[in-house]
Amino acid sequence: MFAFLLRRLGQAVVVMLVISLLSFSIQDELGDPLRELVGQSVSEETREELREEMGLNDPFLAQYMRFLRGALRGDLGVSYFFKRPALDVILDKLPATIDLVLAATFWILLFSVPVGVFAAVNPRHWFSNLAMGLSAVGISVPVFLTAIFLIYLFSVELGWLPSYGRGETTEIFGWETGLLTRDGLRHLLLPSISLASVILPLFVRMIRSEMMEALEAEYVRFARAKGLREGRVRMVHAFKNTLLPVITVGGVQIGIMVAYTILTETVFQWPGMGFMFLEAINRADTPLIVAYLIVVGLIFVIVNTVVDIVYGLVNPAVKLTGKPA
Amino acid sequence: MPLLSVQNLEVVFPLPGGTVRALRNVSFDLDRGERIGIVGESGAGKSAAAFAILNLLGKPGKIQSGRILFDGHDLAALDYEAMRQIRGNRISMIFQDPMVTLNPVLTIGAQMTETLRAHRRMTRARARDIALEKLRAVQIPSAEKRLAQYPHELSGGMRQRVVIATALLSDPQIIIADEPTTALDVTIQAEILELLLRLCEDFAVGLILITHDLGVVFGVTQRILVMYAGRIIERGPTAEVIGAPRHPYTRGLIDALPSAARPGTPLKQIPGVMPSLHEIPSGCAFHDRCEFAQARCAAETPRLEEQGARAAACHFPL
Ligand SMILES: Nc1ncnc2c1ncn2[C@@H]1O[C@H](COP(=O)(O)OP(=O)(O)OP(=O)(O)O)[C@@H](O)[C@H]1O
Ligand SMILES: [Mg+2]
């Protein structure tokens, strides 16, 4: 387990280096930071002085190393717009996004497992056909369309649910969350369903097909030949094997969901980092953009590591060696 | 009364391209503690016979007609729960490939104790003790350690021993072994076979040993059934059938054994292939491969004629 974690940590460092290099090197393409900082009125000489002072004339590698050293100390630059450290800005927005992702993950797990398993066990049932049909449609409907439809139905027409903002939040352990108040949850409902709607159909289909495959396996036939009850054959023998591929692919999907938050948060004006990112792009707030990419990269690496660990716990073949047999 | 009596069993696989008749009019008995072999080429219907007994035919297979009397009950007519209580409890099965028989994500111990607890109320500790006892019976070294191990930590031969130990857990009356050594290394095959024979003798368990290799049943089973294209075409005491086969197909199988060939001469083979069970030829299904075939063989299906302990389905027995 320790060697496994160490290996994983090494990989994570490499991945983060690559991400930081990439995000750092695109910032030159995003426009001249000086223009954003001082505007047009300043003379060419003062500009050149400022450039020199900020180290913008140094070779790329020197700039990157300086950036890295800063990053290691938690300094990802200062947002031009907010005039505050970029990391602080992001950390302020992070809880809202995490709330959203957690709630969406909750929906996904709540529905995909029972629906997927049911559809695998009763492939000809009308409900399975319905679920498969809906999921085929669901995969191809873009998030913003689902979001707009939900807002139209539940906020505009029925007036049941709020359509923007987080509502009331509370703080526990310094974490600002809307998961603990009624109002916060009401605000969370539509955005989290929209966000889940992209990934849920994928999960349902994946669980169904993996489960169907597992049900055909020879060990399932042997489990029946041992006289086990059908419930145990399905939920212990088949489902446990279904979990392995679902964890791998599913973990990555939940990471990818962070990217979908950009759209969802924008439609619902959710004050999270996805919404912030889109605004930062509009304002050409380069340090904030770079910081966002790095933080998202870090989240991705963490999620993947957790997924690997969980996978290792479920799959006995990876437990000892740290790599799949 | 025999312990198991299969009577006029017909098994079909209704497929889109036509119905496969995997078993046609198959009848045989098994006495308490008796060991019989079912021999035949690939596709002859051996596995279909085995799985039909436990009502575990792969989809879309089903028992069309016939009876499977076990201890006074017709297994073909039992409801799900009654059938479940027989599987792995009174009739156990051993599968062909131990690499895929055991569940890769469950420990050996879990897979053994769940079997016991599916049939009897007992504590985990008690189930574990019985599992340990059976693992020792199949001569697995450091049995205690194995309980906590996963299948991938064991070799193929060891896994098949685990499967055999699992089959023995509830002290069944019959074990059905479907090609239990085919997937194993040649060196291990004899070991496993000998183990199986000894265990069946020691615990007075009936055995149905399925194989495509006549050499395997010799010395293990008391009687054999030879199957061809879904039918039993010859049966009788193992040594007698192998010593003096009546059906030309049985004779062909014997001549094809490596031990039958003189050193330096090529192995004999039966010419042609067994017909697909979609389109079984009229008359004797073997006639177009048979060197003794005459006009009658193509026209009229021979019946399994009893003669004492033996029977053969051939118009012109050897
Ligand atoms: N699940 C299934 N679906 C369709 N047809 C099947 C199925 N299982 C078996 N059959 C058909 O039934 C016939 C008998 O198959 P069976 O598996 O009993 O043969 P076998 O004698 O055990 O052969 P082998 O030595 O290859 O195991 C074959 O023609 C096969 O194609
Ligand atoms: Mg078979």
> Which pLDDT band holds residue B232 (cuts at 50, 70, 90)?
very high
By a Cβ cutoff of 8 Å, what residues of chain A touch chain B?
Answer: 217-219, 221-230, 232, 236-237, 240-241, 244, 314-317, 325
| B93–A225 C-beta distance less than 8 A | yes
**Angle in degrees, 0-180, between the axes of helices A286-314 and A239-267, rounded to the nearest 10:** 160
Q: Where in chain B are the domains?
A: 4-90+171-312, 105-169
DSSP state of B292: T
pLDDT of residue A320: 41
Q: How far from each other are the two terminal CA atoms of chain A, in whole angstroms?
A: 16
Atom 8 of ligand 1, nearest CA residue? B58
Interface test with A, best of B105, B107, B112, B146 (most A CBs within 10 A): B105
Q: Is the pLDDT of residue B178 over 90?
A: yes
Using a CB cutoff of 5 Å, list residues around ligand 2, an ion. Answer: B 47
Q: Is the pLDDT of residue B183 over 60?
A: yes
Q: How far apart are CA B283 and CA B273, in angstroms?
A: 17
Mean pLDDT of B107-117: 95
Q: How far apart are CA A87 and CA A293, in angstroms?
A: 11
Look at residue A1 and give its three-state secondary structure. Answer: coil
Q: How far is A224 from chain B (nearest CA, A)?
A: 8
Interface test with B, best of A212, A226, A239, A311 (most B CBs within 10 A): A226
pLDDT of residue A77: 79
pLDDT of residue A322: 39
Percent of chain B with pLDDT over 90: 69
With contacts defined as CB-CB under 8 Å, which chain B residues touch A236?
Answer: 106, 114
Q: How far apart are CA B205 and CA B200, in angstroms?
A: 5
Kindly tell me the sign of the dihedral angle through the C-alpha atoms of B165, B170, B173, B175: negative
* E strand segments, chain B: 4-15, 18-30, 35-39, 62-70, 73-74, 91-94, 174-178, 206-211, 223-228, 231-237, 305-307, 310-312
Q: Which atom of ligand 1 is nearest to the CA of B227?
A: 21
Choose the residue to mutate in B47, B226, B227 for probing ligand 1, maximizing ligand atoms within 8 Å of C-beta.
Answer: B47
Q: Cα A197 to chain center, whole Å?
A: 14
Instruction: Identify residue A125 by its one-letter amino acid code.
Output: H
Q: Which helix (H) or strand (E) holds A176?
A: strand A175-177
B35 pairs with which residues across the strands?
B207
Going residue by residue through chain A (325 aa), what tens digit of pLDDT does each one get?
Answer: 677 778 878 888 888 888 888 877 776 666 666 666 666 667 777 777 777 776 777 777 787 888 788 888 878 778 878 888 888 888 888 888 888 888 998 999 899 999 999 999 999 999 999 998 888 888 888 888 888 888 788 777 777 877 777 767 777 777 777 777 777 778 888 889 888 888 899 899 999 999 999 999 999 999 999 999 999 999 999 999 998 888 888 888 877 888 888 888 888 888 889 889 988 888 878 888 888 888 888 888 888 888 887 877 777 766 444 344 3
**pTM listed for this prediction:** 0.84
Per-residue tokens: B309: 């302990």
Instruction: Identify residue A216 by its one-letter amino acid code.
Output: E
Of A278, A277, A292, nearest to A24 by C-alpha is A292
Look at residue A140 and give its three-state secondary structure. Answer: helix
DSSP state of B58: P
Of B284, B290, B221, B305, nearest to B253 by C-alpha is B290
B92 pairs with which residues across the strands?
B175
The CATH number of B4-90+171-312 is 3.40.50.300
Q: How far apart are CA B225 and CA B44, in angstroms?
A: 12
More confident residue, A233 or B215: A233
Q: Is the pLDDT of residue B246 over 70?
A: yes
Instruction: Identify residue B58 by its one-letter amino acid code.
Output: G
